[in-house]
Amino acid sequence: MKISIITACPSGVANSIIAAGLLDQAAKALGHDASIECHSSVVETQTLTDAEIAESEVVIVAANAPVDTQRLVGKKVYQSSISECTTDPKAFLANAIEKATELTQGASVTPVVVEQTGGVKKIVAITACPTGVAHTFMAAEALEEHGKRLGHTIKVETRGSVGAKNQLTAQEIADADLVIIAADIEVPLDRFDGKRLYKTSTGLALKKTEQEIDKAFAQAATYTHSGTSNQAGATEEKKGVYKHLMTGVSHMLPVVVAGGLIIALSFVFGIEAFKEEGTLAAALMTIGGGSAFALMIPVLAGFIAFSIADRPGLAPGLIGGMLASSTGAGFLGGIAAGFIAGYSAKLIADKVSLPQSMEALKPILIIPFIASLFTGLVMIYIVGGPVAALWRQ
């Protein structure tokens, strides 16, 4: 028997393609000659010709999205949702052929297209997620691919754990017809004042990219900056040696205060009471002096590096600080370790380019590994000895 099969789903990706494949195999197993029209956004749709429709004894429509059935008027047609055909395609096909009835009135569908008034649209976007690793870059890639496929010009700024990359310029923002913010955290929006802006999540931008772009054109509203939110954006890039140093000191101070107070508590039992093993005074001295104070220099170095290179700089800074402490280089060594780790991590982040598929590994593997190795070797062979000698003098 000659039959025609039409499948469609809202996204035009998984369900439509899977249903088409299952029904095609079922038709062959049952000895039918099937022509397939699969509505898809990832493969080219082969629309049924008038001749194929005319030759078909039955037309089966398995769709969760609108399908043009005006062309099927007068044919025996069976319509259902996609979910009905996936459990047992052979039984579904046999039942569809048996229960198909002549279609007397069809429905024509106007394809949903992206607004094209004025030609190609210019889109700028920002992606950001809490960890700044996988979703940030995957959502950016999805937006770029779908935007270009729809015929638009698009640039996406990623705000990952290595900082802002592919940054949007003031001119690009000014020229943009639409701004898409796909973020799960707060991002500075003051530079988009007066632009048409649409907010979504990285998850939706990744999984329902085309729908989100369509919604962005339809639902974007003009953004008005209040002047009270996202103040951090104005000073985010205001970096300097003093700022980095103060960041390290400010994070170190709670450790110093907590450790000092706990040591002071141990003195309540006597100035030398901590020397007796197993006593509460000894335990307090171990907590304050042996642990808290041991963390001072690593924390100082770690957060100096964090201020310079963001999260990828933290691990190299902590390691460098620990080496400064163990080599006797003290606070000066810790400060040096923080700046060495921070600027080496930032240099790797800015200068080392990787394929998009490996970009997510940069902040969690490549930068910490290389920067930690470099910082450690510099601290052991160059900085540690001379600085420790200064302290001994």
CA distance 58 to 86: 19
Contacts of 108 (CB under 8 A, 6+ apart): 68, 70
Annotated active-site residue in 9, 17, 34, 197: 9
Residue pair 44/76 in contact by the 8 Å Cβ criterion:
no
Catalytic residue (choose from 5, 36, 60, 129): 129
Annotation marks residue 85 as catalytic:
no
Instruction: Tell me, yes or no, if 38 is annotated catalytic.
Output: no
Tokens describing residue 210: 């085309």
164-173: long-range contacts at Cβ-Cβ below 8 A with a sequence spacing of 24 or more?
A: 166/140, 168/124, 168/126, 172/122, 172/124, 173/124
The tokens for 185 are: 């955290």
Beta carbons within 8 Å of 243's beta carbon, 6+ residues apart: 307
Contact between 106 and 68 (Cβ < 8 Å)? yes
End-to-end C-alpha distance for the chain, whole angstroms:
98
Find the DSSP H helices in the chain: 14-29, 50-55, 83-86, 89-99, 134-149, 170-175, 202-207, 209-219, 232-235, 241-267, 280-285, 293-309, 314-326, 330-351, 367-378, 384-392
The structure tokens listed for 70 are 């005006």
Confirm if 56 and 14 have CB atoms less than 8 A apart.
no
Q: Would you say 30 and 90 are in contact if contact means Cβ atoms under 8 Å apart?
A: yes
Unique residue bearing structure tokens 């607004």: 115
What one-character DSSP code corresponds to residue 340?
Answer: H
Catalytic sites, residue numbers: 9, 129
